[in-house]
Amino acid sequence: MTTFVHNVEDRINREVGSVEVIGPVVLKDLTEADRRHAVIYTSMDGRHEYGRISSWNDRVVFVNYHGGDTAAATQPSDLRFAVKRNCL
């Protein structure tokens, strides 16, 4: 079954759209192949934001949400892998 998240803010490409997602990001399962992988962040108030994994440590995943050099530390439980973007 395909799952879409709608109204996802993509500050990298400056647009809002719908994103097809798969399961959650599991910190212990991350590999080098996941670096730069697209993810969706869901905030406590239900907003969604598109980003790319930059790196991780034993507690958090660092995600680039805006296309610059700085990545934000994000709890893995707030992330899901994105598999395809469909912009509105």
Buried/exposed 8-39: b ≥16 CB within 10 Å, e otherwise:
bbbebeeeebbbebeeebebeebeeeeeebbb
Confidence of residue 54 (pLDDT cuts 50, 70, 90): very high
pLDDT at residue 72, rounded to an integer: 95
The tokens for 42 are 């869901």
> What digits encode the pLDDT tens for the residues 59-75?
999 999 987 788 999 99
Confidence of residue 84 (pLDDT cuts 50, 70, 90): low
pLDDT at residue 46, rounded to an integer: 87
Mean pLDDT of 21-38: 94
* Overall domain count for the chain: 1
**Domain limits at 42?**
3-87
The CATH number covering residue 17 comes to: 2.30.30
Res. 80: pLDDT tops 70: yes
pTM, 2 dp: 0.86
